[in-house]
Structure 1
Amino acid sequence: MSTRIHREVLLSAENVDLVRDGRPLLNGIDVQIEQGQHWVLLGANGAGKSTLLSLLGAVAHPTRGTVHVLGHRLGRVDMRELRSHIGHVNPRHVVERPLTVRDIVLTGLTNTPEFAQRWQPTEADRERAEELIAMMGMSERLEARWPVLSQGERGRALIARALMPDPPVLLLDEPATGLDLAAREQLLTALDEMRAQHPSMASILVTHHIEEIPTTTTHAILIRDGVIIAQGSAASVITTERISECFDHPIDILRNGGRYSAQARAPKVGSTA
């Protein structure tokens, strides 16, 4: 008889609808994210991926249904305070001053664009920042300033920033946006390393590109027109049949070495378009 290891539920939604300006954006959402799980949220543009992430990240309230974030029910908790305990990685994060990579990462402790007034990091804070920067493979760029960083370097610096307060959950909204092939691979390697070094942390990564799914991904959600059409273990969800349904197009899914790739299904020989 198998026994299931008990893991704390960090994020959950139960029968959730979200309506804005009379338009339903999410419908009948049920999901549960536990410690140590790493989810990918897949769907076409406009399917509701970022909207669902905003609910689970305590940014938006549901219209109907129940959302719990780190044990707190939305609507009965200070949302701003709750968000301070979640690691958010936004590739569109704005940095107006030419801060160094180390300083960018340190601002994750105050969740501000730059050092807060009358606040200075401790030596322990600086050491942790440097450890996270090393984990992201950026030790040589420690003193590099934001304006001269590549898009990929900025993305890895922002992941280190989000990890500074040691959050129980990390949310990544299309972190590979705008990256070239090498930068994307560096980012995915860094994510796998980060997950290995933080075994109890959970994460959700939003993307619509199969090739951007890290090898350490354990679970997947497919969302279409605001409705979850499949969820569960990554291997059972990221399949040719289900991805084709999600994106409303015949797509063949291949898996090699824990990574996924996709290509449009070739037409049968002799078939007519």
Structure 2
Amino acid sequence: MIGPSISLQNVNLQYGENQILHAISHEFAAGQCHVVMGPNGGGKTSLLRSILGLTPFTGNINIHWADRKGKVGYVPQKAVFESSLPLTVMDFILLNQSRTPLFWSRWRNLSKQRGFALEQLDRVGMAERADRRMGQLSGGEQQRVLFAQALLDNPDLLVLDEPTTGMDELGVRYLESLILDLVSEGKTLLAVHHDVSAVRRLGANVHVVNRQLIDSGPVEDVLTPEKVERLFNHYSTKVSDDMFKQGKAA
């Protein structure tokens, strides 16, 4: 099953007097990788949360499925786990897989679930850490586990909010390879990302948002060296230093 397309018509989002998103009308094509970029505070995460129905907005957002409604996976920017909490990586995955307390599961079924959970952890390079406590992992390792958790239902639409936050180079490469595999399977991926070089490697469609939709198109057309500074400084007095430096170095 191919992933859905997503259409937005005159989408606005406002908190009090603060206009977060303004008059965005756009379509994200089905079965492709789409990366939302832009300066800090430009509304990127708010756009994703609006598409997921997690925050109120005005206008219309529609997810168009090819034949039947598919499944949606979501990886938040980060999660916080107490280091003292006796919740292992495997426990976390099994809880999300079964949706029932672990001690309610029959051992036979739990064994099957463990095998499937290990497969997903292996896809993000975390199978060998299955017995580690979630709170003892680095932020980047936790992100990789969250990614594995999002794959449990084999989603047709996967929404990622800064999926490589806190990751080392190995973790970034694992996720890039996995994203390419998922797109090759016909899934639709929508991600907020800040790393210009990483987005270029993905060969994604890039959509630059800073309250409004500033630019959109293939990565080679949008993230040209001469356009990066202008795009990420549009309608903003403060630009992300990391974004600016990466663009200048391109």
TM > 0.5 between the two? Answer: yes
1:47 deviation in Å? 0.7
1:216 deviation in Å? 2.6
Aligned partner of 2:171 in structure 1 is: 187
| Percent identical residues | 28
Q: Secondary structure at the match of 1:263?
A: helix
Is the 1:135–1:194 Cα contact (8 Å) retained in structure 2?
yes
1:159 deviation in Å? 0.4
- Among candidates 220, 229, 244, match of residue 235 of structure 1: 220
Residues 148-194 of structure 1: per-residue CA shift (max 9 Å, x gap): 21222111111001111111112221223334xxx1x2232222332
- Among candidates 37, 40, 50, match of residue 45 of structure 1: 40
Is the 1:10–1:169 Cα contact (8 Å) retained in structure 2?
no
1:233 deviation in Å? 1.3
Aligned partner of 1:34 in structure 2 is: 29
Query: Given the superposition, is the C-alpha separation of residues 242 and 215 from structure 1 closer, same or farther in structure 2, using an over 3 Å criterion?
Result: same
Cα distance in structure 2, aligned partners of 1:241 and 1:41: 19
Cα distance in structure 2, aligned partners of 1:85 and 1:105: 18
Query: Given the superposition, is the C-alpha separation of residues 143 and 94 from structure 1 closer, same or farther in structure 2, using an over 3 Å criterion?
Result: same
Q: Counterparts of 1:128-143 in structure 2 under 5 Å?
A: 128-143=116-131
Aligned partner of 1:255 in structure 2 is: none
Aligned partner of 2:247 in structure 1 is: 262
Query: Given the superposition, is the C-alpha separation of residues 100 and 29 from structure 1 closer, same or farther in structure 2, using an over 3 Å criterion?
Result: same
1:105 deviation in Å? 2.2
Aligned partner of 2:61 in structure 1 is: 67
1:160 aligns with 2:161: no
1:139 deviation in Å? 2.2
How big is the alpha-carbon RMSD for the aligned residues of Structure 1 and Structure 2? Answer: 2.9
User: How many correspondences in the alignment?
Assistant: 230
Cα distance in structure 2, aligned partners of 1:212 and 1:102: 29
Query: Given the superposition, is the C-alpha separation of residues 110 and 221 from structure 1 closer, same or farther in structure 2, using an over 3 Å criterion?
Result: farther
1:13 deviation in Å? 1.0
Cα distance in structure 2, aligned partners of 1:231 and 1:221: 4
Q: Secondary structure at the match of 1:28?
A: strand
- Among candidates 196, 217, 221, match of residue 210 of structure 1: 196
Aligned partner of 1:147 in structure 2 is: 135
Unpaired segments ≥5 residues, structure 1: 1-6, 72-81, 252-260, 266-273
* TM-score scaled by length of structure 2: 0.79
Cα distance in structure 2, aligned partners of 1:117 and 1:35: 40
Cα distance in structure 1, aligned partners of 2:171 and 2:200: 9
Cα distance in structure 1, aligned partners of 2:3 and 2:79: 30
Query: Given the superposition, is the C-alpha separation of residues 218 and 207 from structure 1 closer, same or farther in structure 2, using an over 3 Å criterion?
Result: closer
1:116 deviation in Å? 7.2
1:214 deviation in Å? 6.5
**More RCO (CA 8 Å, sep 6+):** 2
Is the 1:195–1:201 Cα contact (8 Å) retained in structure 2?
no
1:54 deviation in Å? 0.7
